[in-house]
């Protein structure tokens, strides 16, 4: 059975454009995704990054949910150590009150930024150590109000907004299994522990009120175009971005180039392509063949696809092709 496909949007800011442009593109893509039958549209929290416009993640989720009709909209994710659980419960309780039954709350324990910015967020650098307790607190705040409960999330209490655990290591897999929550693995940039994490999650899963059996969503990069050659050229934008990570020169999303080999060193190429190993680049036929193998290998219950493509019209076309691929796979 073909799993649902979803979209992970980092709201990339292309070179020569502004955050306002990126957010307009986000809503436009979400509206198309709604029509194309995608299951979810997730946005991610990153701070102090000039190439990503979704720092105020819950605000952008509200913007996207308000401009779409059917598609689920959520966080992939909220970096919980940056926030008090009560604040997140209130934000997502509010979103659920505005858009009932369409909001997801994915949470992760990474800061989504550097240590200096973490201090600017006024958070304790050790806040990630209490992540499991924070998730339990968040669950309680979004769950039914208990007798004599002194502190309530208003809105939020009783909403039971679905919580997901995000991760790129065995820690998240173990926590999601223990709490009986759906699990999303960040293999679109950290694929190393993917198979082991999926195994641990499924083997140790304990049913919960939210979920009776394990449900794993797997992150991938999909850069699709009408030809393999065009897709490979579009892929040079994320290849440059990942190379720049190692150089410590993060910036806006760069336009594609003709010769990526002239851009990176052999060592940078190895590092970048290791991080990008769960990437499917090519025409509809190429992407379908590779995705079918990947889904068979991982047993993914859902695929969530990122696409850092410089030109917005080509990004739209990539996701349109991917939606056509899924329909073809589903028969």
Q: Is the peptide bond before 155 cis (omega within 30 degrees of 0)?
A: yes
Q: What is the pLDDT of residue 111?
A: 63
What are the 10-residue block averages of pLDDT along the chain, 331 residues in total? 96 97 98 98 94 96 98 96 95 98 95 68 73 96 94 96 96 97 95 96 97 98 98 98 92 97 96 96 98 98 98 98 97 87
- CATH 3.20.20.30: which residues of the chain? 1-161
Please name which of 162, 171, 164, 175 lies closest in space to residue 133, comparing C-alpha atoms: 175
Which DSSP state fits 39? S
Distance of alpha carbon 246 from alpha carbon 193, whole angstroms: 20
What 3-state DSSP class applies to 82? helix
* DSSP state for residue 325 in the 8-state scheme: H
CATH architecture of the domain 1-161 equals Alpha-Beta Barrel (3.20)
Q: What is the pTM of this model?
A: 0.96
The token pair that represents 190 in the structure block: 């950290």
6 φψ region: left (φ > 0), alpha (ψ -120 to 50), beta (else): beta
Alpha-carbon distance 28 to 319, whole Å? 12
The SS3 assignment for 166 reads: strand
Q: CB-based contacts of 170: which residues, under 8 Å, 6+ apart?
A: 193, 196, 197, 200
pLDDT of 39 reads 98
């Amino acid at each position: 059975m073909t799993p649902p496909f979803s979209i992970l949007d980092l709201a990339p800011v292309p070179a020569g454009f502004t955050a306002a442009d990126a957010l307009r593109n986000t809503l436009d893509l979400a509206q198309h995704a709604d029509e194309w039958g995608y299951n979810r549209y997730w946005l991610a929290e990153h701070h102090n990054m000039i190439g990503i416009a979704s720092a105020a993640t819950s605000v952008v989720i509200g913007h996207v949910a308000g401009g779409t009709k059917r598609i689920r909209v959520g966080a992939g994710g909220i970096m919980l150590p940056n926030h008090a659980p009560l604040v997140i419960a209130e934000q997502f309780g509010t979103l659920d009150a505005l858009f009932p039954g369409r909001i997801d709350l994915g949470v992760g324990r990474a800061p989504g930024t550097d240590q200096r910015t973490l201090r600017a967020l006024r958070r304790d650098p050790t806040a990630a150590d209490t992540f499991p307790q924070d998730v339990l607190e968040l669950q309680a705040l979004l769950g039914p109000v208990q007798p004599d409960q002194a502190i309530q999330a208003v809105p939020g209490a009783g909403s039971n907004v679905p919580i997901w655990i995000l991760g790129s290591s065995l820690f998240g897999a173990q926590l999601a299994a223990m709490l009986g929550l759906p699990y999303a693995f960040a293999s679109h940039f950290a694929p190393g522990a993917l198979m082991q994490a999926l195994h641990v999650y499924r083997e140790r899963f304990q049913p919960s009120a939210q979920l009776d059996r394990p449900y794993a969503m797997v992150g991938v990069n999909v850069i699709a175009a009408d030809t393999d050659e065009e897709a490979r050229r579009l892929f040079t934008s994320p290849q440059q971005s990942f190379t720049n990570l190692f150089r410590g020169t993060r910036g806006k999303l760069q336009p594609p180039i003709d010769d990526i080999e002239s851009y990176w060193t052999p060592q940078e190429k190895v590092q970048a392509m290791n991080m990008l190993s769960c990437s499917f680049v090519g025409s509809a036929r190429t992407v379908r063949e590779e995705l079918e193998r990947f889904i068979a290998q991982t047993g993914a219950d859902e695929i969530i696809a990122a696409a850092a493509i410089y030109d917005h019209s080509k990004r739209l076309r990539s996701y349109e092709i991917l939606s056509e691929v899924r329909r073809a796979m589903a028969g």
